[in-house]
Amino acid sequence: DWNMPDYVSEAVARIREQVGDEEVILGLSGGVDSSVAAALIHRAIGDQLTCVFVDNGLLRLNEAEQVMQTFARSLGVKVIHVDASDKFLGDLAGVTDPEQKRKIIGREFVEVFQAEAQKLPRAKWLAQGTIYPDVIESAGAKTGKAHAIKSHHNVGGLPETLNLKLLEPLRELFKDEVRELGIALGLPHDMVYRHPFPGPGLGVRILGEVKREYAEILRQADAIFIDELRAADWYDKTSQAFAVFLPVRSVGVMGDGRTYEYVVALRAVQTQDFMTAHWAELPHSLLGKISNRIINEVRGVNRVVYDISGKPPATIEWE
Ligand code: XMP
Substitution site in 316, 318, 319 for ligand 1 pocket (most atoms within 8 Å of beta carbon): 316
Question: What's the 307 CA to ligand 1 centre distance in angstroms?
Answer: 17
Q: Which atom of ligand 1 is nearest to the CA of 314?
A: 5
Q: Where are the alpha helices (DSSP H) in the chain?
A: 4-19, 32-45, 63-67, 85-92, 98-118, 132-142, 175-184, 189-192, 212-231, 284-297
Ligand 1 within 6 A of 98 CB? no
Q: Are residues 171 and 110 in the same domain?
A: yes
Task: Give the residues of the chain that fall short of pLDDT 50.
Answer: 144-147, 155
According to the model, what pLDDT value does residue 139 have? Answer: 79
Q: Are residues 212 and 174 in the same domain?
A: no
Residue 319 lies in a domain: no
Looking at residue 212, which CATH number applies to its domain? Answer: 3.30.300.10
Ligand 1 within 6 A of 149 CB? yes
Residue 114 lies in a domain: yes
Q: Are residues 99 and 26 in the same domain?
A: yes
Contact 155, 27 (CB under 8 A): yes
Q: Are residues 162 and 209 in the same domain?
A: no
Q: Are residues 60 and 21 in the same domain?
A: yes
According to the model, what pLDDT value does residue 145 have? Answer: 42
Q: Are residues 47 and 166 in the same domain?
A: yes
Query: What total number of domains does the chain contain?
Result: 2
Separation CA 261–CA 240 (nearest Å): 27
Q: Is 250 annotated among the ligand-binding residues? A: no
Q: Which of 133, 166, 192 is the last residue of a domain?
A: 192
Contact 266, 239 (CB under 8 A): no
Residue 292 lies in a domain: yes
Ligand 1 within 6 A of 50 CB? no
Domain that holds residue 153: 4-192
ipTM above 0.90, yes or no: yes
Ligand 1 within 6 A of 199 CB? yes
Q: Are residues 35 and 171 in the same domain?
A: yes
Ligand 1 within 6 A of 311 CB? yes
Looking at residue 117, which CATH number applies to its domain? Answer: 3.40.50.620
Ligand 1 within 6 A of 102 CB? yes
Ligand 1 within 6 A of 101 CB? no
According to the model, what pLDDT value does residue 49 have? Answer: 98
According to the model, what pLDDT value does residue 162 have? Answer: 79
Residue 90 lies in a domain: yes
Residue 313 lies in a domain: no
Q: Are residues 183 and 253 in the same domain?
A: no
**CB atoms inside a 10 Å sphere around CB 52:** 21
Q: Is 285 annotated among the ligand-binding residues? A: no
Residue of the nearest CA to atom 16 in ligand 1? 152
Contact 15, 44 (CB under 8 A): yes
According to the model, what pLDDT value does residue 143 have? Answer: 53
According to the model, what pLDDT value does residue 146 have? Answer: 42
Q: Are residues 123 and 234 in the same domain?
A: no
Ligand 1 within 6 A of 198 CB? yes
According to the model, what pLDDT value does residue 157 have? Answer: 62
Q: Are residues 155 and 255 in the same domain?
A: no
Q: Which atom of ligand 1 is nearest to the CA of 102?
A: 17
Residue 297 lies in a domain: yes
Q: Is 190 annotated among the ligand-binding residues? A: no
